Amino acid sequence: MEKKKLPFKHKLPDYAQSLAIMLMLGGLVSREGFNITGLTNIFVGIIEISAVLILLTAKVCKWSVTHRHNFHWKKPIFDVFLLTSLITVLIKQAFIPHSYFNFWKIMHVYMAIQAIIHIARFSLSAAAATAPTHILLGSFAGIIILGAFMLMLPRASTAGQQLSFTDAMFTATSATCVTGLVVVDTGSDFTTMGQSVILILIQIGGLGIMIFGAMFSLLLGSRLTLRESIAVSDIINEQSPGRIGRIAVFIFLSTLIFEAIGAFSLFGMWDSNQTFKSIFHSISAFCNAGFALQADSLIQYRSAWQVFSIICPLIIIGGLGFPVLYNFWQIIAQKFNKLKNPDKYYSKIRLSLHSKIVIITTIVLLMVGWIFMFTLEIIRPDGDGNENKSVATIALDSLFNSITARTAGFNTVDIEQLSPPAKLTLIFLMSIGGSPSSTAGGLKTVTLAVMVLAVYATMRHRSEVHAFKRAIPNTVVLRTATLILLYAMILFMAILALLITEHNHCHDLLDLMFEAASALGTVGLSTGITSSLSIAGKWIIIITMFVGRLGPLSLLAALTFNVDPPTYQYPREPLVVG
């Protein structure tokens, strides 16, 4: 059921909230982005306090108008929680003036949360009113531009390291598209404020702005309309719009749970700044972003047990995709319910065909990649970099390379020192990437599996593609072939463009291929040439990362949205191929 249009007076609180958010963002940018003092500091403080008062008044009016006849305490609970936290810190600040969690810091967090809520809900409403793919492209582009602006602020970079527009756009695109390619060192060239901006971009880019919009709508007591549910289902490839609300809640909560467990487990691994580094690397690993706060990524921590027992599982789980995780949750929840109510009948929930294909393909790719990387490094003729390594060390490094090539982007070895066959193997793994509706990029595991099954069906002279005693629709096979062709064409064009722009920089062809494949697959691994690319080369990588995160099919759908399918058929005629 669609929501009824509200009278103008009922919309006034929304307009007031939007005004307050704009004022709050202005204060946030001024205070956190610049070094303000004196009268300017007082003026900004007045603006921020006014914005908070306007926001509080607007929210109270909205609650009283919207829920006058049907009020329930759960509807505004998210706002109540945020406001209570703000007031609590304000009272605490009065008694403990020098507390780290002072009023302004918490209010800035509150401002950022409110801004994200409004942007996410606006994107969701716009997607419901128009084409979801258009809004997806526009929202990603808008977030990247906003993130680049924030990274260009003086206080975002360390002294003497203020970013150029190109480098800011590169970093913001890499973070939002959860890639991990960098032109400046994240740990040394950015302040905590700049690193926090990058972290927020990673989280938004990993989950997607539509999921945030759906989640915040539910938290704020609003039910999703049918159009909004359909818009979100189109973005995350869900076949049942009726359960989008539950899936959005699951995606949001499961992400927080996995990232919280990862951050807690990583605590104690780092040399300094334990809390922030643990949170940063946990989010970066689960979102398959590959951003690290060390110039050498994880090379100096390659012997730490958390690298393989925490970061690797986070990468794999994030790359499996939320449909698979939700399928697992359904099975576990059903078993738990049966234990609670053994006499009640439950229709059995099994692993879906999608989950089976994803799990098997993921395991096969990880094992094959591990074996190939290990073998190629053992038999390499030059032996560079392996003289002082034991077989066990090479095996562990090869395993990590196989896992991180699933679009994670961390590295425990210098990629530049790998042999050319090993680099080519990584290019293949990076191009495949993770699974559909996950935080990973690439062609996706299901795409590879469907094409392998299609080849097998052709060899067996079958008219349909089968898997686990299920027939895969021909439309899926056609989409798979289209995706592979588009992906190969975009990768080829990116490599060709880099060869043209970087001809004066003496970069090796294999390194340029590696860079383009890493950008299109949103991986983040590099042979070390990213920062030395020309301005034109950086923009080629920026566009490639953007296309890789959105996906060639989403881009094609956005370009051909108004094209209606034909209502007629032509006569068939056989064609010789091969």
Model pLDDT, residue 71:
46
- Could you give the 3-state DSSP secondary structure of residue 438? coil
Give the Cα separation of 493 and 503 in Å (integer): 15
In 3D space, the residue among 444, 556, 555 whose CA is nearest the CA of residue 137 turns out to be 555
Give the Cα separation of 363 and 358 in Å (integer): 9
Tokens at 436, concatenated: 């559909």
Partners of 190 in the β-ladder: 157
Model pLDDT, residue 100:
44
CA distances (Å), 466 to each of 61, 369, 476, in order? Answer: 58, 26, 12
Model pLDDT, residue 252:
84
Residues 6+ apart with CB under 8 A from 53: none
Instruction: Considering only residues 466 and 228, tell me which one the structure prediction assigns the higher pLDDT.
Output: 466
Instruction: Considering only residues 545 and 38, tell me which one the structure prediction assigns the higher pLDDT.
Output: 545
pLDDT tens-digit series, residues 425-434 = 999 999 999 8
- Could you give the 3-state DSSP secondary structure of residue 472? strand
In 3D space, the residue among 165, 115, 107, 167 whose CA is nearest the CA of residue 143 turns out to be 115
Give the Cα separation of 101 and 151 in Å (integer): 23
CB < 8 Å & 24+ apart, contacts of 104-112: 104/31, 104/48, 107/48, 107/52, 108/28, 108/31, 108/32, 110/82, 110/85, 110/86, 111/21, 111/24, 111/25, 111/27, 111/28, 111/48, 111/51, 112/28, 112/200
pLDDT surpassing 90 at residue 23: no
Among the residue ranges 44-58, 136-150, 380-394, the one predicted with the least confidence is: 380-394
Mean pLDDT within 65-72? 52
pLDDT surpassing 80 at residue 464: yes
Residues 6+ apart with CB under 8 A from 75: 63, 67, 220, 221
Q: Indicate the domain borders of the chain.
A: 72-295, 322-559
Give the Cα separation of 6 and 340 in Å (integer): 45
Q: How confident is the model at residue 217 (pLDDT cuts 50, 70, 90)?
A: low
pLDDT surpassing 80 at residue 17: no
Give the Cα separation of 450 and 479 in Å (integer): 10
Q: What is the 3-state secondary structure (H, E, C) of 23-80?
A: HHHHHHHHHHHCCCCHHHHHHHHHHHHHHHHHHHHHHHHHHHHHCCCCCCCCCCHHHH
pLDDT tens-digit series, residues 406-421 = 888 899 999 998 989 9
Residues 6+ apart with CB under 8 A from 174: 180, 181, 182, 291, 524, 545
Buried b (16+ CB within 10 A) or exposed e, 429-460: bbbbbbbbbbbbbbbbbbbbbbbebbeebeee
Q: How many CB atoms lie within 10 A of CB 74?
A: 9
Model pLDDT, residue 73:
44
Mean pLDDT within 389-402? 89
Tokens at 479, concatenated: 């989409």
Question: Can you spell out the DSSP letters for 266-298?
Answer: HTT-SSS-HHHHHHHHHHHHHTT----SSTTTT
pLDDT surpassing 70 at residue 78: no
Quick check: 548 and 177 in contact, CB under 8 A? yes
Model pLDDT, residue 497:
95
Q: How far is CA 25 from the centre of its chain?
A: 24
pLDDT surpassing 80 at residue 512: yes
Whole-number mean pLDDT of the chain? 82
pLDDT tens-digit series, residues 545-578 = 999 988 776 666 655 555 666 777 888 888 887 6
CA distances (Å), 36 to each of 24, 29, 98, 155, 524, in order? Answer: 16, 11, 20, 11, 36
Tokens at 516, concatenated: 């383009």
pLDDT surpassing 60 at residue 6: no
| Dihedral sign from CA coordinates of 96, 98, 101, 103 | positive
**Phi, psi (rounded to 5 degrees) for 70:** -140, 60
Cite the DSSP H helix spans in 341-390: 353-378
In 3D space, the residue among 332, 340, 282 whose CA is nearest the CA of residue 311 turns out to be 282
pLDDT surpassing 80 at residue 12: no
Quick check: 197 and 189 in contact, CB under 8 A? no
Model pLDDT, residue 235:
64
Percent of the chain with pLDDT over 70: 78
In 3D space, the residue among 197, 202, 152, 151 whose CA is nearest the CA of residue 177 turns out to be 202
Instruction: Considering only residues 187 and 72, tell me which one the structure prediction assigns the higher pLDDT.
Output: 187
Model pLDDT, residue 213:
64
Mean pLDDT within 194-201? 92
What is the enclosing helix (H) or strand (E) of 471?
A: strand 470-472
Mean pLDDT within 58-75? 59
Give the Cα separation of 411 and 297 in Å (integer): 6
Residues 6+ apart with CB under 8 A from 45: 27
Model pLDDT, residue 72:
46
Give the Cα separation of 462 and 450 in Å (integer): 14
